[in-house]
């Protein structure tokens, strides 16, 4: 499949760079607070300006929390047959933003709080002959 046949699971959440994808968030131009997903204004109560701009977030972060999902998600996300349990984690990025995502590792013995993870894009499912991709995190 060519890159033109890949589409994001939700438009505007991440870049489609196959080698170095990044999540697309927001950053307050006044207080510097980061957000994911993008927001229209800063919600930091100590901030007076509230203006935000688009910001590309770091590709690496630390595992903050995780679990393993042992049941299939609803369609269209249950494309894998037979179903295989998968890890879901919350990753804290250097911008002090915590992002939930699927983990490429699902063995709890191999997942450790604080371990470094890296963002990548993988196929979620196919739709109308196009590969729908989402972000995941893999151990570095």
- 107 in Cβ contact with 127 (< 8 Å): no
**pTM of the predicted protein model:** 0.89
Does 45 map to a domain?
Answer: no
Does 12 map to a domain?
Answer: no
Does 17 map to a domain?
Answer: no
Task: List the domain range (segments joined by +) for residue 65.
Answer: 60-139
3-class secondary structure, 37:
coil
Written in H, E and C, the secondary structure of 77-94 is CCCCCCCCCEEEEEEECC
pLDDT digits (tens, 9 = 90+) for 79-114: 667 888 999 999 999 999 999 999 999 999 999 999
Place of tokens 């959440």: 13
Instruction: Enter the tokens of residue 127.
Output: 């739709």
């Amino acid at each position: 499949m060519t890159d033109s046949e890949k589409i994001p699971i939700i438009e505007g959440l991440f870049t489609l760079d196959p080698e170095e994808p990044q999540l697309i968030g927001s950053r307050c131009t006044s207080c510097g607070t980061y957000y994911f997903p993008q927001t229209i204004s800063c919600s930091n109560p100590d901030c007076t300006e509230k203006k935000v701009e688009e910001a590309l977030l770091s590709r690496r972060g630390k595992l903050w929390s995780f679990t393993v999902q042992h049941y299939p998600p609803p369609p269209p996300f249950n494309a894998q047959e037979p179903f295989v349990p998968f890890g879901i984690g919350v990753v804290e990025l250097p911008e002090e933003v915590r992002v939930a995502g699927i983990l490429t590792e699902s063995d709890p013995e191999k997942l450790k709080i604080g371990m470094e993870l890296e963002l990548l894009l993988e196929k979620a499912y196919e739709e109308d002959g196009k590969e729908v991709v989402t972000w995941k995190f893999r151990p570095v």
